[in-house]
Amino acid sequence: MQVKISNFGATITSLSVPDNNGKLADVVLGFDSVDPYVNGLAPYFGCIVGRVANRIKEGKFSLNGVDYTLPINNGPNSLHGGNNGFDKKTWEVAGHKKDGDKPFITFKYHSADGEEGYPGAVTVTATYTLTSATTMRLDMEAVPENKDTPISLAQHTYWNLSGHDSGNILDHRIQIWGSHITPVDQHSVPTGELLPVKGTPFDFTEEKRIGDRIGEVGIGYDHNYVLDCADQEKDGLKHAAKLRDGESSRVMDLWTDAPGVQFYTGNYVDGVVGKGNAVYGKHSGVCLETQGFPNAINQKSFPCVVVKAGEKYKHTMLFEFSA
């Protein structure tokens, strides 16, 4: 496999893996140059989002007796860290090895106190490692320096295992190791409930075609799944999802230590001109963003996303490809 990553947003711009005949294809949506990313044409293609991924209701939260207000950039909510989140920052390259055993690259970013309305300065690192010929690992860490602050990072790659330029992902099959979702209101913010998926269009506890019941959930899937306690583990990580493309026979298994995964079917992608002049339309890719629960800072029943000053946030993802 081969992966290309930019230090703008710690963004995966290309990832090529073989099919069952050994034929390589680039399976992530993106652009040929950095300019469209910098100019805001990418709907979060391939990047790391933060300081807090997903939506915070009305861009407001309270912490340690102080009220905080964030930029509103998604309906009435604050999404993916605000107007200029980590996806729109130039990260420092803190270390890298291009070839040999377990090539890696480490990106580092310093987020200032008050950046996008969030309290406290935070130092963030993200290390991508090719741990085998068909496996990529991402280790994200963040340390608040002087104040407690919410932190929940996510990797926002859009996957199309047929190839980035092959059309929509409705024929992909997926299994998600989550028997509940966090249902949302009309503005895509979780209500605080946990809804069993059994018997609903959200049930992917057994492998199913993505397009089978997508018409029953509005414009498509954009929901957080509560990951079940691991019955399968790898390197201390639980199985989150398995994505399969029948045409190429490529399979991606995703493992994580995060409590949730956002299953998003590219519902708002509309005529984006990408690599090789491919035109990406609705459902051209699928995102599997392991994460803390959306709006957890305002939902006391959700797993806490507050990291205390001096303590370390950790989040690992393992992407395992086969055919």
Catalytic residue list contains 156: yes
Query: Which amino acid appears at position 304 of this protein?
Result: C
* Contact of 293 with 299, CB cutoff 8 Å: yes
The CA–CA distances, whole Å, from 163 to 16, 24, 70, 160, 191 equal 9, 9, 37, 5, 36
Residues 138-165: b if buried by 16+ CB within 10 A, e if exposed:
bbbbbbbeebbbbbbbbbbbbbbbbbbb
The reply to whether 158 sits in an annotated binding site is: yes
The reply to whether 157 sits in an annotated binding site is: yes
Within 8 A by CB and 6+ apart from 258, the residues are 227, 240, 290, 291, 292, 315, 317
Going by C-alpha positions, the residue among 286, 268, 6, 36 that lies closest to residue 166 is 286
Q: How many CB atoms lie within 10 A of CB 132?
A: 13
Q: Tokens at residue 242, please?
A: 């398995």
CA distance 46 to 267: 16
The reply to whether 160 sits in an annotated binding site is: no
The reply to whether 54 sits in an annotated binding site is: yes
Annotated catalytic residue, options 116, 141, 289, 320: 289
Annotated catalytic residue, options 156, 164, 283, 315: 156
Q: Tokens at residue 122, please?
A: 């935070």
The reply to whether 223 sits in an annotated binding site is: no
The reply to whether 187 sits in an annotated binding site is: no
CA distance 101 to 240: 27
Cis peptide bond prior to 250, omega within 30° of 0: no
Sign of CA dihedral 265, 233, 258, 141: negative
* Binding-site residue set for beta-D-galactose: 54-55, 156-158, 222
For the annotated catalytic residues, the residue numbers are 156, 289
Residues making up the binding site: 54-55, 156-158, 222
